Structure 1
Amino acid sequence: MGSMFRSEEVALVQLFLPTAAAYTCVSRLGELGLVEFRDLNASVSAFQRRFVVDVRRCEELEKTFTFLQEEVRRAGLVLPPPEGRLPAPPPRDLLRIQEETERLAQELRDVRGNQQALRVQLHQLQLHAAVLGQGHGPQLAAAHTYAASERTPLLQAPGGPHQDLRVKVSRPRG
């Protein structure tokens, strides 16, 4: 056992793993938290490495998760912390997780864009209502001076202010 000034005994080892088992072995060793990995190919650039595609995929997943987490926080919700340590997902599930999170992120982006467009349209309709209210005299202007909020319905119930308008339809003789 290590003392207060010295760490425990450590051993430097080199593992040779078959490519098919590398992900599973490295993820299990990483979950234990007892292993420190050293890069033996430090002289090789990041773009020449063997697993650069997988690393990029993980970076994109991290960006998507960060976006989703920010949206959850913006909505005023609190994510509970995970219980215990979460294991690394198997490689076959990684693609499914990536597709699902990208789909959710795209839906959130669409909803945010639609919400912004609706706010712009509501503002324009409020401006039009104010202009119409001022153009039709004081009695109609008084009816349109209320401040429309986001909860005010855009459509009026049947029998609204234009219930007395009638359209005469004449049929052509043929």
Structure 2
Amino acid sequence: MAAQKDSLFRSADMSLTQLYMANEIGREVVSALGELGIMDFRDLNSETTAFQRTFTQEIRRLDNVERQLRYFKAQMDKADIPMRSMYEFGDRLAAPSASEIDELVDRSQTLEQRIQSLNDSYETLKKREMELTEWRWVLREAGGFFDRARGQTDEIRQSIDENHDDDAPLLADMEQAHNGDASGERSFSVMNIG
């Protein structure tokens, strides 16, 4: 009888194998088997929680790196930066060693802090730009108002004198109370008003 072809379905011929290996080489062996893609792993310690396992700290650290990589992807999408395809790289991507993972963790932490710092600086600069633009328009409008008023000083004084009851009631009350008294003029001169 001819050998059966392998199938992508679970109904393909399989055998259950139990491997015993030292902790020191466990990562390399599992990486090599994972790259071959011919093994399916079964958890023999399924009754223990994730926090009771010996590799919990490493899983948390790698979960944080995964979160950071998603953050980098979101920032790239936000800035319309295209991501290179993994097929553009010449060599096949192999499973990283422990030292390469440590280097990736450190580098991703540094990059995340740098990107967050740049984002904060960008937001501060945009806010400052809006404030300065607002002040520029205020100064432009105020400058135009004073330029128009400069040539019409006599007309402005006449309109104030004619309508002093409506336009400046506090000053009119003060003038009426003092009736041109010198003490009133002195109080204005002390306040540097006139």
Normalising by the smaller structure, the TM-score range is 0.7 to 0.9
Q: Greater share of helix residues, 1 or 2?
A: 2
In the TM superposition, what is the alpha-carbon distance from 1:18 to its structure 2 partner?
0.2
Report what 1:62 is aligned to: 66
Aligned partner of 2:118 among 71, 96, 111 = 111
Greater C-alpha Rg: 2
Q: 1:3 to 1:102 in 2, by over 3 A?
A: closer
Q: 1:15 to 1:140 in 2, by over 3 A?
A: farther
Gaps of 5+ in 1: 142-174
Q: 1:137 to 1:87 in 2, by over 3 A?
A: same
* Aligned CA-pair RMSD: 2.2
1:26-62: per-residue Cα shift (whole Å, max 9, x none)? 1111111110001111100110011111111111111
Gaps of 5+ in 2: 149-194
Report what 1:29 is aligned to: 33
TM-score, scaled to structure 1: 0.73
TM-score, scaled to structure 2: 0.66
- Percent identity at matched positions? 27
Report what 2:173 is aligned to: none
Aligned partner of 1:13 among 7, 10, 17 = 17
What is the number of residues matched between the two proteins? 141
Q: 1:6 to 1:135 in 2, by over 3 A?
A: closer
Aligned partner of 1:125 among 121, 128, 132 = 132
Residues in 2 aligned to 1:17 and 1:61: alpha-carbon distance in whole angstroms: 27
